[in-house]
Amino acid sequence: MLALPAIVFIFIFYYIPLYGLVLPFKDYNFTLGFWHSPWSGFTNFEFLFNSNLVQIVRNTAVMNALFIVVNVIVEVTTGLLLFELGKRSSKVYQTILFLPYFISWVVVSYALSGFLDPDLGIVNKLITALGGQPILFYNEPKYWVLILVLCHVWKCLGYGTLMYYAALTSVDPEYYEAAKLDGANRVRQAWHISLPMIRPIILILVIVSIGNIFYADFGLFYTVPQDNPMLYPVTDVIDTYVYRALRVLGDFGMSAAAGLFQSVCGFVLVLLSNYVIGKISSDDKLF
Amino acid sequence: MQSKHSKKTSLIFSTLLVVVIVAALAGCSPKSASPGDSANAPETKETASPTETSASSGSNAAPADDTKEFVTLTWYMTAPLDPRPNEEKVMKDLNDRLKEKINANVVFKFVDGATYAQKMKVAAAAGEQFDIFLDLNQLGFSQIVSSGMALEVDDLLNKYGQDILKKVPDQAWQAVTARGKKFGISNPSAWVSSYNISLRKDIVDKYSIDYQNIHTYDQLEPVLKMLKEKEPNLIPFMGDFVSALPNTMDKISPMIGYDNLDGQWKSLLDNPEWVKIQKLQHDWYLKGYISKKLVTDYAEFKTGKYAGSIYHIYDASFAKVSTDLGTPMVSTPLDFTNYVTGSTIRSAVNYISKTSKHPERAMMLLNLLFKDKDLFNRFCYGLEGDDWNYVSGKGTDNPTIKTKDKLEWAIWHPFIGSLWDQWPSNWNSQEVLDGLKAAIDKAKYSPYVGFTFDSSPVKKEMAQIDALEPELKTIYMAKDLDAKMAEYKEKAKKAGLDNVIAEIQKQVDAWKTADGK
Amino acid sequence: MKTASTTVAGIGSGKRKQNQQRFYLSVHLLFILLCVIVTVPFIVIVSASFTNETSLFRDGYGVWPKQFSLDAYAIAFANSKQLIQSYMVTILATVAGTLLGLWLMTTLGYVLSRSDYRHRNKLSFYVFFTVLFRGGLVPTYILVASWLGMKNTIYALFVPALVNSFYVLIMKGFLKSIPHALYECAKLDGASELRIFLRIVIPLSTPAIATVGLLTSLQYWNDWFTSILYTDDSKLQTLQALLYRMLSNMQFLSVIQPAGLDSSMLPQASFRMAVCVLAVGPLLLVFPFFQRFFARGLTVGSIKG
């Protein structure tokens, strides 16, 4: 009952506007409004289902899945190591590692082209200095899986680490005392105490990411590769495709349709993973 | 029992909190409309305003009566400049002048370009009241008309807008006419681009290049070949060739349009001029005359890696191209016929909102900006002394002025009136203005200036084809250009190109019969 | 609170101590490396923001500006009155939003974490659903602007975003680590639910509250869209909205290139970097504030006792 204000709040600000979900099924005319615009069935979804669908859905899901896996591993490890280091130095590291969170993707794309530019980029200057052939990074999709993953980890590291670190600090030290009395070494302490204690946080972050797996970070996929069509085999994701398709038409109904499609697919995956988690340990189910 | 009791107390506590929050929210908006009101507002307005207009045009009241009531007009506009430190002072000065002339004040609501369309759409959806709004082709004419955001302005123009009618060319009105009614005022401006080949002055001098006799890419090629050999550290040329291609198409979407050369509606991929440019670009790419990477921004020229570029404004003094590209340049116009099309005319259109309470006064304001050159320029340049000073011709109707280096106020002339009424200044010299004007006078008007395409019957196909277009940016880098083009033709076909063309033809026929052409 | 590491070090033998030190050294080295990877681009950005625009293009980016220039900051600070006003508005919205939001989210997260709460799964679903499904821009705008009448008020800047469903779920994850037995004990002692929440949950979960508080305040700090959407009045423009508008304007002008304008007077690239530098502000102010709470949580033992 303590939660009532928040529940009411969510109802007002999230559930009442949900009538907007009729939008994908409407031929929306914004002066007619939601209820008076004519119904259009599933026509707003049709533009998604074309020859590109497989590629963009695959790119979106695979890249996001990679991000989830890599991020969890890297961030949990960093969090654990920070926790080992103790308070003072971890504070400094934490603050510095959080820096990239404030750097917009546009700025990242500038900085990255400083590294990867075919003529002026640092990487290619190095390669040519060592007698190699310059690599045209912006023309070769194959490098971009790695580049995008690195960019994503680089930017999110501080954010994720912070959460895991905070979760670790709220673990009762008595557990560690007890483990030490049992002669458990550091690795075993991490494995048997730290990880299980922060498991709820890991699971929640992962499940929410799975829910959003069909939503790509537009800035990362559009701005960082500089919207270069040569890279579309890797970088073209649902969000960038929808942006391109609707930049002229500006159709509310169609963009809402794309969003609903992404949400529903993500939702199905979440239900599935929640079910699987429930089978393993019912206490960890999200709902 | 204990816990039940405690739950009750916390329930009371939480309810109180909710009440407090709700009260706080309600308290800040004593005048907030009830849900029903605001949702219905646009529709009621829709039926109400035409009668309002006809009533005002029906009455034979003298202009003096029309301005008896003091009103404040709201004008939504894409922000021309941000920040505008001098806004308060300039607006006060302008409003003092306006009050004297038409007994009205104006409040500009400047919205940044990137969020403008979104903001206007939600404002319109929520039935917000405003008088004039500018559209730089972001919302789009057909959407504005079909959604009923704009008021028909024929009667208002006849009654209060004579100076506007005088200054906007007759052909241009077609572009803002739908169902035989005018819906907006397109501000005269540089409706065509005067593309030209620009070369770095130091390079031209060094090799004494006879640039003035170069007017085509073929004539340019030997120069690039020479530069490639003699200046190994430079990339001979930088350019967004495709937008500079002989613009024979009147496009209704980035990829589909009317080809003025053979009178066909077709996709870019079937336009021989476009194919020719792509082949040329492919050739130059292989020969190393152009960059290995995609260049999309003129600013790239400032890296100093390039010897020459395409540029979009030609003026004989080369002043503009030199400042924009950051180094002294010379340029020579590309030889091709420009076409004025519906979408170029609609590059800056002011509409009177259907939610306006004072449409006549809005029209009076717009007319005044066309009529009173002095006031118009004060709107654009700001406050004399603060923002600009006379250089020469003070007191005449076309003085030359100079603005401060750090702008504290600006409205670009085509946003509120005619570019040809601009006082020459460091923004545009008389030479530049004359050059731009000459380019338009030379240009042809596309026969479909007045045709607007309603994409809703084929929007699925349009969306897919629109999505294809950016992919063409790098098509010239393909190893086998012909194969790549064939591949894209196939893709366009799959996306439903034929359906779109058929629908266009259908609408064009209907439009022609309706117009009796 | 003693951290695990110091205690381990305390009881180690000589050889273990050596291992220990080697371990710490390598971990420190790793972090220093990470920090370098993170900081170098940032230093480049700071340097770029102080570089003359032309030089930026010609010489490329570097760790030290080749041609020093304050142009970018001059633009940002040109309207200092507005800047101060925007700072005030942003701070006000951030503080109010974070405090109120924290209360709402912590209470809800706490209830969701109680394993003896019967409807917790249904309620979790109720919350999670809104992570994925939103009504969209127009319905929200109509709700906030017309029905609640918050357009052009400071409330519009923080009220709609008070509860972030994602953070509620994170809060739930944190609070799950509080042993359930504790609540039982407290109840047996006759503590009311509110009392349990105030006296046990809040002190025990300071790291959680600090984390969510930090994220919430950063979210408020970095938000520009709300301000642009719901306010026309420059008095209510938040800092990020102000900077965003300037930036978007420059970009917009360089794309449409109105015939009236000399685009070379806008130092777009360096200004973008300056915006980035200015945005980092809260990292230096807010971050240390919240960080203090990370290790200050009381232990379960201290409460039991």
Residue-wise pLDDT for B284-302, tens only, equals 999 999 988 888 777 788 8
Q: Is B104 helix (H, G, I), strand (E, B) or coil?
A: strand
Cβ pair B190:C149 closer than 8 A? no
> Which residue range is the domain that position A93 belongs to?
41-284
Mean pLDDT of C36-46: 85
Average pLDDT over residues B155-166: 94
Find residues 424-463 of chain B whose CB sits inside 8 Å of chain A.
455-456, 459-463
Which residues of chain B neighbour C262 with C-beta distances below 8 Å? 320, 323-324, 426-427
pLDDT of residue B62: 44
Q: What is the mean pLDDT of chain B?
A: 82
Residue among B185, B192, B189, B298 at smallest CA distance from B239: B298
- Distance, in Å, from the CA atom of A74 to the CA atom of A65, rounded to the nearest integer, reads 14
- Beta carbons of A205 and C170 less than 8 Å apart: yes
**Contact call for C34 and A211, based on CB within 8 A:** no
Subunit contact B305:A51, Cβ cutoff 8 A: no
Structural domain count, chain A: 1
Say yes or no: C155 contacts chain B, CB-CB below 8 A. Answer: yes
| Range of the structural domain that residue B379 is part of | 41-191+341-452
CA distance B263 to chain A (A): 24
Q: What is the pLDDT of residues B397-438, one digit of tens each?
A: 899 999 887 788 889 899 999 999 999 988 888 888 888 888
**pLDDT > 90? residue C115:** no
**3-state SS assignment for residue B76:** strand
Question: In the prediction, which pLDDT does C216 show?
Answer: 92
pLDDT > 70: what percent of chain C? 85
> How far is Cα B376 from Cα B360, in angstroms, rounded to an integer?
19
In DSSP terms, which residues pair with B75 in a beta bridge?
B108, B132
Q: What is the pLDDT along chain A (287 residues), one digit of tens a residue?
A: 677 888 888 888 889 888 888 888 888 776 677 778 888 888 888 888 877 788 999 999 999 999 999 999 999 999 999 888 877 778 888 888 888 888 888 888 888 887 888 777 788 888 888 888 888 898 889 999 999 999 999 999 988 998 898 888 877 777 888 888 888 788 888 888 888 888 888 998 999 999 999 999 999 999 999 888 889 999 999 999 999 888 888 788 888 899 999 999 999 999 999 888 888 877 777 77
Contact with chain B for residue A55, Cβ under 8 A? no
> How many angstroms separate the Cα of A245 from the Cα of each of A92, B417, C79?
45, 33, 39
DSSP state string for B228-256: HHH-TTSEEEE--TTTTS---EEEEETTE
- Report how far residue B352's alpha carbon sits from residue B155's, in angstroms, rounded to the nearest whole number: 13
Classify residue A8: in a domain, yes or no: no
Least confident of B49-58, B267-276, C52-61, C115-124: B49-58
Q: Is residue A55 part of a domain?
A: yes
Task: Give how far C195 is from chain A: nearest CA, Å.
Answer: 11
Within a domain: residue A27?
A: no
Per-residue pLDDT band at C119 (split at 50, 70, 90): confident
With residue B132 as reference, give the H or E element that holds it. strand B132-135
Chain C interface test: which of B5, B28, B107 (most C C-beta within 10 Å): B28
- Give the number of domains in chain B: 1
Domain assignment present for residue A82? The answer is yes
Confidence label for C10 from pLDDT (cuts 50, 70 and 90): very low
From chain B, pick out residues whose CB is under 8 angstroms from the CB of C254: 297-299
Type of residue numbered C167: Y
Set of chain C residues whose Cβ sits within 8 Å of the Cβ of B127: 146
Residue B191 reports pLDDT greater than 90: no
Mean pLDDT, rounded, for B299-326? 84
CA distance B330 to chain A (A): 26
The answer to whether position B388 is within a domain reads yes
Other C-beta atoms within 10 Å of C264: how many? 18
Q: Which residues contact B284 (CB under 8 A, 6 or more apart)?
A: B221, B224, B237, B290
pLDDT at A42 (0 to 100): 86
Query: Does residue B439 sit within a domain?
Result: yes
Q: Given a cut of 50, is residue C96 above it in pLDDT?
A: yes
DSSP A26: B
C242 in Cβ contact with B110 (< 8 Å): no
More confident site: B39 or C44: C44
Which H or E element spans position B177?
Answer: strand B177-178
pLDDT digits (tens, 9 = 90+) for C182-237: 888 888 888 888 888 888 888 888 888 988 998 899 889 888 889 888 888 878 88
C-alpha to C-alpha distance for B353 and B41, rounded to whole angstroms: 13
| Tens digits of residue pLDDT in B108-150 | 999 988 889 888 988 887 788 999 999 998 888 988 888 888 9
Other CB atoms within 10 Å distance of the CB of residue B259: 20
pLDDT of residue B431: 84
Which residues in A lie closer than 8 A to residue C108 (C-beta atoms)? Answer: 3, 6-7, 10
Q: Please list the alpha-helical segments (H only) found in C12-164.
A: 14-49, 53-59, 71-77, 80-113, 120-132, 137-141, 155-158
Of chain B, the percentage scoring pLDDT greater than 70 comes to 85
Compute the distance between CA of residue B5 and CA of residue B13 in angstroms, rounded to an integer.
Answer: 13
Domain membership of residue A265 (yes or no) is: yes
Residue B379's pLDDT band, with cuts at 50, 70 and 90, is very high
* pLDDT score recorded for residue C14: 67
Q: Does residue A13 sit within a domain?
A: no
Q: Do C136 and A20 touch (CB under 8 A)?
A: yes
pLDDT at position B93 is 95
Q: What percent of chain B has pLDDT over 90?
A: 41
Give the global pTM: 0.84
**C-chain residues within 8 Å CB-CB of B90?**
none
Asked whether residue B464 is domain-assigned, the answer is: no
Q: Which of B131, B72, B75, B74 is nearest to B98 (CA)?
A: B72
From residue A48, alpha-carbon distances to A102, B459, C258 in Å are 33, 12, 35
In a domain, B199, yes or no: no
Output the pLDDT for position B85. Answer: 83
Domain-located, residue B248:
no
Residue B307 backbone phi and psi in degrees, to 5? -95, -30
What are the tens digits of pLDDT across the range C264-298?
Answer: 556 777 888 888 888 776 667 778 888 877 765 55
**Chain C: closest CA distance from residue B59 (Å):** 35
pLDDT of residue B343: 85
CATH for A145: 1.10.3720.10
In a domain, B11, yes or no: no
- Note the pLDDT of residue B13: 45
pLDDT confidence band for B26 (50 / 70 / 90): very low
Residue B158's pLDDT is 94
Domain of B443, CATH number, reads 3.40.190.10
Interface test with A, best of C58, C163, C182, C250 (most A CBs within 10 A): C163
Asked if B388 contacts B381 with a C-beta cutoff of 8 angstroms, the reply is yes
Average pLDDT over every residue of C124-152: 87
CB A99, CB A187: distance < 8 Å: no
Nearest-angstrom CA–CA distance, A274 and A252? 32
> Do C179 and B164 touch, CB atoms closer than 8 A?
no
- Give the residue carrying structure tokens 């790549």: B484
For residue B421, the one-letter residue type is D
B393: phi then psi, degrees, rounded to nearest 5? 75, 25
Six token digits for residue B233: 């550290």
- Give the distance from CA B71 to its chain's centroid: 29
- Contact: A136, B293; criterion CB under 8 Å: yes
> Is B148 in the A-facing interface, judged by CB distances under 8 Å?
yes
At residue C255, the pLDDT reads 62
